[in-house]
Amino acid sequence: MRHYTGIDKFIHSFDQALRSLVPGTTSAQRSNPSENTETKLAVSEARHVAGLMRVNHSGEVCAQALYHGQALTAKLPNVRREMEFAAIEEQDHLAWCEDRLKELDSHTSLLNPVWYGLSFGMGAIAGIAGDKYSLGFVAETERQVSLHLQHHISQLPPQDERSRKVLVQMNEDELHHRDTALKAGGVDLPLPVKITMTAISKLMTKTSYFI
């Protein structure tokens, strides 16, 4: 097995950050769920959907950062591999959201570097705290992401099947990641940690919708 130096790990982490933050650098491994689906939206509807998809894209940037940070500091090899696999699967979500934003003639959030940095730090701290807490952090993150996705699905215009199919598939994946983390030994996080995560999530949601 190859031994990676600190410089190797830094370069790898930097590459992961760039792929998560620079539009057009992430490709989906799975087909887009909205393929062969036609949707026509009014200008005001398209603007609203773009805001929702921008928030969801930022959420996936945060998820990438969390997994990258946790994989860097996870103690057990199997937990590290689980984090890396989840991050790869989440890349599909990044690409799908970005595709939809392009279709809506919109853009990703300008604040994504901030969200990535904060989330990476939180993920790294969770990994240092121990694998059971790291897995618990994943489970709580995915639970909160799922709630956001369900709320956004309910806000979509009735005819917007393209966005709906993407968000429904994303929600299924997030719930699967949550269940996997719990089965692997994730524990319930302390209430102050949950409150902090919720506060950051709300801040990201309210700002990324517009910026």
**153-210 confidence digits (pLDDT tens):** 999 999 998 999 999 999 998 888 888 888 877 787 778 878 887 888 888 888 988 8
Tell whether residue 142 is among the known ligand binding residues.
yes
Tell whether residue 93 is among the known ligand binding residues.
yes
| Ordered structural domains, the chain, with CATH | 39-208 (1.20.1260.10)
What mean pLDDT is predicted for residues 63-81? 71
Q: Which one of 82-86, 88-92, 145-149, 188-192 scores highest in mean pLDDT?
A: 145-149
Q: Tell me the C-alpha distance between 170 and 166, whole Å.
A: 6
Q: Kindly report the pTM of this predicted structure.
A: 0.81
Q: Which residues contact 40 (CB under 8 A, 6 or more apart)?
A: 159
Tell whether residue 60 is among the known ligand binding residues.
yes
DSSP secondary structure string for all residues of 154-165: HHS-TT-HHHHH
What was the pLDDT predicted at 168?
93
Tell whether residue 3 is among the known ligand binding residues.
no
Tell whether residue 174 is among the known ligand binding residues.
yes
Tell whether residue 38 is among the known ligand binding residues.
no
At residue 78 the predicted structure's pLDDT band, cuts being 50, 70 and 90, is low
